[in-house]
Structure formats: structure tokens, C-alpha cells
Chains A and B, each alone.
Chain A
Amino acid sequence: NAGVTQTPKFRILKIGQSMTLQCTQDMNHNYMYWYRQDPGMGLKLIYYSVGAGITDKGEVPNGYNVSRSTTEDFPLRLELAAPSQTSVYFCASSTPGLAGEGQYFGPGTRLTVT
């Protein structure tokens, strides 16, 4: 199993450009998440999905969009990139359970908006 994979690893965007961050998991997990991590900070939830066709906002959704057409894929779309979106983006997945056994993270995408 590859686990959770993310592409690209690094990206530089100009202000106003758009891009899609890709996330795929091969663990058949129902739940998937997108976080951003700013330097010296914890992770903030952007969006999450509990299954194909079902998504919802997290703590910091403004400026982002998601879709979930399959169990495996959960892309994150940035529209009109702004310098405030410079961050490291992590995708994660988990499986529902009585208490949950935590989330498994992808390697991250380091995004710079200039």
C-alpha cells in the first residue's frame, strides 16, 4: 500500500493564479481531510469528506474548494491564489470506528504564493 499520496510536492504560484492539489489514498478509507500548516503552528482543517459525494467545511475554508467523486481521490482547488495561502498542505484519511484510530497523513505539498 502506498498509503496517502499527494502531488505536487512543491509549487510556486503567482497571485491570482489557480491550481489543484491532488490527494489519493489506497486504504479504502471513507474519511478524508485537508489541512494547512503555517510555520510554527498546528494544523488547521480546511475541508473534509465522509464519503464520495459528501464534503463539508472545516475551520479555514475560504479561498478553497473540494470535490469527492471517488473513495480514493480528494482534490483541493485553490482559486485566485493569495499570499495568505502560502503554507504546507496535508491530506489525510481515516476509517470510521468506535473511537477512531487517528488519521494517516500524506507527505504534504509546500505552496508559495508570490
Chain B
Amino acid sequence: QKEVEQNSGPLSVPEGAIASLNCTYSDRGSQSFFWYRQYSGKSPELIMFIYSNGDKEDGRFTAQLNKASQYVSLLIRDSQPSDSATYLCAVSTGFQKLVFGTGTRLLVSP
């Protein structure tokens, strides 16, 4: 059974701080990794994807991948109250099927 683990939170950070969200996965053969943001009552929205070791930056978001440690993280710089949401880590298997973690709830206080 392929598993994706996340701390459920909530992770509380003040506005303007860096939020760090972490995820571990069990399948060493996994190739592609995704971060989704989900606001309460809404559908998941793709933020980032990464498939090479190292960092990938997109605006205020940075995804980090360490395949040796089976570890993926998402950094959100200059956090805003509008970033308050649940962040889902997902790992791709065959045919781009995704295995999701249970999500980390982020709260950004003004």
C-alpha cells in the first residue's frame, strides 16, 4: 500500500512569515510529486509539481524534493491570510493516478 504522510496541523504562522509544509512518501519508485491547495468546501487546486531532486520556485512558493529521504516540502514565503487553507501532498503512480496525504491545515494570522 503506497502511503503519503502529512502532519494534519494546524500550522499557525503570522502574516509575512515563511510557512513550511512537509510530506513523506513510502514508494521509492515514485516519480512525480504535487502540492494542491484546498479551501474549505472547495475542490483541490494545483499549486506546484516537482519531479527532480532539489528546489523548484514559482512566485512565493518553493517545492523541495529529496528522493533519497523520500521527502517533499512546500515553502510559502511572505504568507498571507488568503493562504489559509489545507495543503494536500500527492504522489503520482502509474497513469498519473495520485495518492494523496490527508493534508496540513495552514492558518495565517494578520
A53 an interface residue at 8 Å Cβ cutoff? no
A99 touches B51 (CB 8 A): yes
Chain A residue contacts of B36, Cβ below 8 A: 102
B100 an interface residue at 8 Å Cβ cutoff? yes
B 42-88 contacts with A by CB, 8 A: 42-46, 49, 51, 88
Which one of A11-19, A41-49, A66-74, A78-86 is at the interface? Answer: A41-49
B32 an interface residue at 8 Å Cβ cutoff? yes
- If A42-B4, A42-B100 touch, whether A105 touches B49 (CB-CB below 8 Å) is no
Q: Which of B49, B100, B101, B103 contacts A100 (CB 8 A)?
A: B49
A108 an interface residue at 8 Å Cβ cutoff? yes
B92 touches A42 (CB 8 A): no
B5 CB, min distance to chain A CBs, angstroms: 10
A31 touches B95 (CB 8 A): yes
A67 CB, min distance to chain B CBs, angstroms: 18
Chain B residue contacts of A63, Cβ below 8 A: none
User: Residues of A at under 8 Å CB distance from B?
Assistant: 31, 33, 35, 40-45, 48, 50, 58, 90, 94, 96, 99-108
User: Other than the known A35-B100, A42-B4, A105-B44, what 20 A-B pairs have Cβ atoms closer than 8 Å?
Assistant: A31-B96, A33-B97, A33-B98, A40-B8, A40-B102, A43-B100, A45-B97, A45-B98, A45-B99, A48-B97, A58-B97, A96-B95, A99-B31, A99-B32, A99-B51, A100-B96, A103-B46, A105-B43, A107-B43, A108-B43
